[in-house]
Structure 1
């Protein structure tokens, strides 16, 4: 009997690989199903911005080996370079520049036998917690098309949640694995700094604040992805030695009795939606029923200071990226308004202020280190609000007009240097971080964190909770997630559009 679409949708990547290994199905048959799913789903979702169907078909004609042999997947159109194709980063500027070689991430996925069918949508330069690039259009959440799937790995999350592929590449510089996972009912593990190499085109992304892995539906797929992708490459600035035992085996072990600190308070003192509070409170009850000690506690750090440091890093990185783009003949006007505004703020900073801001990252690391002397893990909402509507992420009309005028006049970097734009920056930061205030701590400290799909709102929207751990604690995070997956399964929860009769 042929392998059915329903069987495909209900299988994770590990399961599909097992079906191929036992010859229940084949790489070619799974690719046919994946492409059928793409043509059915992508017009509604706009999750894939760069199809790679011919390359995928060529792959299925080869003798594929490895733990993902023959399994269709997607990669993110940021950082994850595929030789000969552009890595667009959500921008029309970079969408015309082909990569010269595979990233280590892509090469390892290919070495594992994966069949890459395309690249997924991301906001311009992967800068937002929503996925709305002008170059490729909005990606829609499969649970509710009026809402965002999160960002910046929103295309990947939407595709996996809808059943297009079982897992997809993602990266996380401020929550961009965890936020879309929380918005789409998926598992999203952000590895420690240095765990997964982003080379060879890059040594580090955003001062090491960004890490790569996948979004997926099961703990065993997250562990499998770690086994495939973890490990250093020559020239990497950060290196973490991989454990002697596979992450898959480690994830299956009992985590023991853990002491877990938790909070529902926003670190930047913005409102937290009652559903996000309820998600954590329900998780606390589940953890207690499993025998863990759960106490209300949080690291002692200044959340407003961390937000400012995070924004300063953003400003400087965007300015440098646009300067680099100029070398290819691009103009600032080729980028979106918000991207140009961030670059202008970056150009208004002195190098000394940037370095001083970066030095503060150590304060957050020290505070987190002190916290982990008393607690094994830290539990928070992943995001402070259920997936927002697309229009909620748009800049207010007045702010848009002001930014356009300031950029056209050339005054923005001058005023930023004088500090005259601080109030606007604070307003923009507060608006953006209102929805996602919990994720940046892991990025600036280089520590791992995982979003686990334990809660659905009264409206039927997914809303994940986040567990953070000390550096290199991915095995413990996977063990706890595995325990929670068994206690409160989520694999059966799928959006209505994933049903094959839709």
Structure 2
């Protein structure tokens, strides 16, 4: 059965259709693997195994992913009748009253929902070490972080508990865990996947739902399942030419690719492992027939970005904390929060409504300045997925906030601008450190061009198949 669990989700679905394994046997095997490996990794914080097994017989035979196990990130991806914490003790025991649209789509596609994965409190940092549930460990080295905020999902997929898991990305929270755990992680175009019905947008449009997977075809097929405009959504992503799954194997053509190995604003230290990863990826793209040259958007160098982005995130966190207080019928006190979030809450309370609007207007201009690089004729931008080397647990110190915020700013320097612009970006597992830890590289396309990312990512995957050494 381990051989079937090593398949990607598309392969597992085919195995069920072919009668190689039943849907129940596949789910039971995934449950057994979670029980065997999660004690060390702490990726799955809520298990709904009995309920999941009871639901299998009602899955229609024609469902495309009938019987394929999946885990849901415990941030967003709401499921009625199940605990939902967002990584925090503040909302312990508070359950959402209605399924999110994405969860409904996953059920209709035949996925078996086995439980929920660990995430940092409110998803506001790059490592999954919440006080509420404890740290998630990296399957490649349990002393190291699996990243955040989708760290629990990434660790579970890398360890072979499931073939894919849901995720979300507000500043790099799909791409960073994908990088650290050797996975594929695509942040879609803003509006591609609805956050409804509970929300219209996350972090003023910065946050997007998605997946962490082990193959490009899984990423494409899973996004096809959950994509689409819903009534009342505030954004509508540009239409794709067809299903993303059909783009796998389709030739991307000769592309014009720029690449960046050192952050142009000069504040982010250069890391040799990241430089090597991007340089090798650039050479691979060139060998595949693309026009590759150093360079990227001039707007990446603008020093004001981090200040405006951070203010908007803090303001959104403050609004979230306020809503939690209303939900539970008692104000959330700063001392109930982890120090990082208490500090962000304090900062937000110094901002006026006008300050918030001015910050969003600055980002509006930034988005146009960034987009100019693609509209001038470039197809893809190649950069590190993470601005720092793989790091151990505790590297983001919970009490020393000056160090924590500084290291976090460096880590998200290549990802958060793409959340602000709303463009799609994909992290691919193309490199390892000398110690064998994964390092991802990131490709960014113009808004609406997930199809192009899937084509070129699949081309890269064919040329240099991804290794999943943690899948033991």
The verdict on a shared fold, with TM-score over 0.5 as the criterion, is yes
How far did 1:318 drift?
1.3
Corresponding position of 2:388: 385
Corresponding position of 2:56: 60
How far did 1:267 drift?
4.6
Helix, strand or coil: the match of 2:16?
helix
Corresponding position of 2:325: 326
Aligned Cα RMSD in Å?
A: 1.4
Gaps of 5+ in 1: 400-423
Corresponding position of 1:26: 22
Is 1:375 aligned to residue 378 of structure 2? yes
Q: 2:351 aligns with which of 349, 352, 355?
A: 349
Is 1:311 aligned to residue 310 of structure 2? yes
Helix, strand or coil: the match of 2:394?
helix
Distance 1:154 1:71 in 2: 21
Q: How does 1:11-410 map to 2 (within 5 A)?
A: 11-64=7-60, 65-240=62-237, 242-268=239-265, 269-301=267-299, 302-327=301-326, 328=328, 329-332=330-333, 333-372=335-374, 373-395=376-398, 397=400, 399=401
Stretch of structure 1 that moved more, 160-169 or 261-270: 261-270
Distance 1:216 1:44 in 2: 21
Q: TM-score, normalised by structure 1?
A: 0.90
How far did 1:334 drift?
2.1
Distance 1:172 1:159 in 2: 17
Corresponding position of 1:420: none
Corresponding position of 1:406: none
Corresponding position of 2:429: 453
Distance 1:242 1:285 in 2: 32
Q: TM-score, normalised by structure 2?
A: 0.96
How far did 1:165 drift?
0.2
The structure-2 alpha-carbon separation of the partners of 1:211 and 1:267, relative to structure 1 and needing over 3 Å to count, comes to farther
Distance 2:276 2:214 in 1: 22
How far did 1:241 drift?
5.1
Query: Stretches of 4+ moved more than 6 A in 1?
Result: none
How far did 1:158 drift?
0.2
Q: How does 1:430-449 map to 2 (within 5 A)?
A: 430-449=406-425
How far did 1:31 drift?
1.1
Helix, strand or coil: the match of 1:390?
coil
Q: Residue deviations 1:49-107, cap 9 Å, x none?
A: 11111221112222434221100010110110000113211011223111111000100
* 8 A contact 2:180–2:440 mirrored in 1: yes
Q: 1:467 aligns with which of 432, 443, 449?
A: 443
How far did 1:243 drift?
2.9
Stretch of structure 1 that moved more, 302-311 or 172-181: 302-311
